[in-house]
Amino acid sequence: MEQELTRATVDPHYTWDVTRIYASDEAWEQAYAALREDGKAFAALAGTLSSGREAILTAISRYAKLEAAMSRVYCYAMMKQNEDTTVGKYQGMLAQAASLASELGADGAFLMPELLALPDGTLEALIDDPDFAEYDAMLRSALRMKPHTLTAREEQLLAMAGDVCGAPENAYDLLTDADMDLGMTRGDDGKKTKLTDARLLSFLNSHDRAVRKAAYVNTMNGYGKLGNAISALYAGQVKADVFMAKARGYESARQAALYPDEVGEDVYDSLIEAVHGGIGTLSEYLRIKKEQLGLSVMHMYDMYVDIDTGFDIRMDIGEAFDTFLKAVAPLGEDYVKDASRALPERWIDVYETKNKRGGAYSCGSVHDTTPYVLLNHKKTYDGLSTLCHEMGHAMHSFYSNKTQPEAKAEYTIFVAEVASTCNEILLSEYLMKQYEGNREAQIMLVGNLLEHFRTTVFRQTMFAEFEHKAHRMAEADKPLTKDSLCEMYYDLNKLYYGGACKVDKEVANEWMRIPHFYSSFYVYKYATGFCAAVALARGILSGDPEKLAAYRKFLTLGGSMPPIEELKVAGVDMSTPQPVCEALDYFAELVGVYSGLLAEE
């Protein structure tokens, strides 16, 4: 077995160079102290905005600087803590950074209400004022919130209610993280082992059906035992959403949730409608999978297991990085040239080291440095694909930071997964060509994409439908109980999976294990982002220079425009069902290819 790397033994060439953010921890300490002072000085500007244009410009520009400095302080502390999560010094710095962020929030709390209290027409004029060009996106979103902003006293009451409205989520987290015990289950080695929600997926990947079934049934029943409590908590969450939306004069909780992204409810509805149109193809895919797994009946716990062809891609980081650069060649020579800097310039923290944070992410929120990427690289297809995904985020930040001023360089969640997913699809398409004629490789590559589709487009849209139905029930004063929620969730599973699977009764409890339901109307963005990325990647691969230019323009936009408008610049109009339909056409094509591959001897 390889010796575990530590921060002391890992080759520094494969670690990120955080000195671009601060030269040393001492420099961070100084910046931290200075920022605290700046926050206090900023708070003294309260009450000055009514005195005119100059005062407004001073306040807004100083606030933007505070936010940027806060990102810098936070990112450095987070990255150092993530390198080794057990180091007390960096735990302390990260906690300090978090508390400074809430301190600055309080220091700057006067800004938005004072802006909104300015006489009618003032914000509109500032948006067109060239001196405010850097802040136009922020002013536009303030103006947009104006009709839903209440009097100072009412806002104060809502802020006080905010704590109470957060109680269901807190209780749910504690209940499922700390109090819940899913007991033991049988592992691949036949021995009893501890079952946790985080480990469920690895059990569901087991090629031993009894292992899959036991883990699945134990998990669903484990949640079911707390089902009355979880249902009451979720009902509380939904009612809080409905209360807040009503208080602010929205027509529905969903409209309120979508409003800040400037996304209309029609986008949400047309996603669901279009995905319903693809359910037949989903069933076809699952029937092929069932046959290949040699099952007479496909149960809900059989869906996650991969068809093992024995093929994998085993690349060390150097090879993986070269492959990434080749896969993104369709994005243009300069994209490849810019991206090729990432490894030699140490944007990436490559290897797993002792106590390093797990998973992977990209951090591009420090405006005048390069983006950074955390990996835990493994020599697998998944490792390669993760590198491409995170570099997609990183390059989106790179071009946005380069093009946009600090105050509007950061992109929103609605568009965040587009560039990363686009790179993943470019990688799949590149490898499919490279391994032409290699049946095992093709099955693995196509199978991976199909699973990605199933879990992102179909599953997340089903979740989106569930939360929409739950909120509609609450808005119609119908009770949200364990029975009504479970029945609704079960029926949705029948709709999505009933064509190919035995929809086991246990699945009725599955909604209870989805923490995202406490960030209402969030998951649909995974599905829309994926579909947009598919449409864009296909456009790029078609070789049409205009489509490529549009996409490259999109990468530079940061947060300068409403997300739906940014995607229109890229070449997809999410206010129509067309991109979702196009993505589903691609899914159907892939199902055809998959079926052909599996039929070959």
Which residue in 215, 225, 224, 195 sits closest to 299, CA to CA?
Answer: 215
In the three-class reduction of DSSP (H, G, I as helix; E, B as strand; rest coil), residue 11 is classed as: coil
Cβ proximity to Zn ion, 419 vs 590, nearer residue: 419
The residues pairing with 529 across neighbouring beta strands, listed in sequence order, are none
Question: Could you tell me the strand order of the sheet in which 361-363 lies?
Answer: 348-349, 372-374, 361-363
Cβ proximity to Zn ion, 237 vs 420, nearer residue: 420
Which residue in 351, 405, 364 sits closest to 64, CA to CA?
Answer: 405
In the complex, least distance from residue 362 CB atom to Zn ion, rounded to whole angstroms: 7
- Size, binding site for Zn ion by CB under 5 A: 1
Residue type, 70: M
Contacts of 240 (CB under 8 A, 6+ apart): 164, 165, 166, 168
Q: Which stretch binds Zn ion (CB under 5 A): 111-119, 216-224, 413-421, 457-465?
A: 413-421
**Residue spans of alpha helices (H) in 133-208:** 136-145, 152-165, 167-174, 200-204
Residue type, 378: K
For residue 425, what are the CA distances in angstroms to 224, 420, 452, 459? 38, 9, 10, 19
From 67, 390, 410, 424, active-site residue: 390
In the complex, least distance from residue 393 CB atom to Zn ion, rounded to whole angstroms: 6
Binding to Zn ion in span 341-370, by CB under 5 A = none
Contacts of 338 (CB under 8 A, 6+ apart): 395, 398, 399
In the complex, least distance from residue 594 CB atom to Zn ion, rounded to whole angstroms: 25
290-302: b (≥16 Cβ within 10 Å) or e: bebbeeeebbbbb
Q: Which stretch binds Zn ion (CB under 5 A): 107-115, 179-187, 349-357, 417-425?
A: 417-425
User: How many residues appear in the chain?
Assistant: 601
Determine the Cα angle at 488 with ends 484 and 489, to 5°: 120
In the complex, least distance from residue 537 CB atom to Zn ion, rounded to whole angstroms: 15
Q: Which stretch binds Zn ion (CB under 5 A): 102-110, 275-283, 364-372, 418-426?
A: 418-426
Cβ proximity to Zn ion, 111 vs 328, nearer residue: 328
Cβ proximity to Zn ion, 323 vs 420, nearer residue: 420
**Residue spans of alpha helices (H) in 476-523:** 482-497
Residue type, 451: E
CA distance 6 to 154: 53
Among 365, 420, 493, 520, contact with Zn ion (rule: CB under 5 A): 420
The answer to whether the CB of 471 falls within 8 A of the CB of 520 is yes
In the complex, least distance from residue 587 CB atom to Zn ion, rounded to whole angstroms: 20
CA distance 336 to 257: 38
In the complex, least distance from residue 366 CB atom to Zn ion, rounded to whole angstroms: 18
In the complex, least distance from residue 394 CB atom to Zn ion, rounded to whole angstroms: 10
Q: Which stretch binds Zn ion (CB under 5 A): 62-70, 335-343, 351-359, 419-427?
A: 419-427
390 in catalytic set: yes
Q: What is the DSSP letter of 411?
A: P
Cβ proximity to Zn ion, 391 vs 501, nearer residue: 391
In the complex, least distance from residue 526 CB atom to Zn ion, rounded to whole angstroms: 10
Cβ proximity to Zn ion, 168 vs 559, nearer residue: 559
CA distance 284 to 500: 7
Cβ proximity to Zn ion, 400 vs 420, nearer residue: 420
Helix-, strand-, coil-residue percentages of the chain, each rounded to 5: 70, 5, 30
Q: Which stretch binds Zn ion (CB under 5 A): 103-111, 243-251, 416-424, 593-601?
A: 416-424
Q: Nearest residue to Zn ion, using CB?
A: 420
In the three-class reduction of DSSP (H, G, I as helix; E, B as strand; rest coil), residue 255 is classed as: helix
Binding to Zn ion in span 108-127, by CB under 5 A = none
Cβ proximity to Zn ion, 337 vs 516, nearer residue: 516
Please identify every residue annotated as catalytic. 390
What residues make contact with Zn ion under the rule CB under 5 A? 420
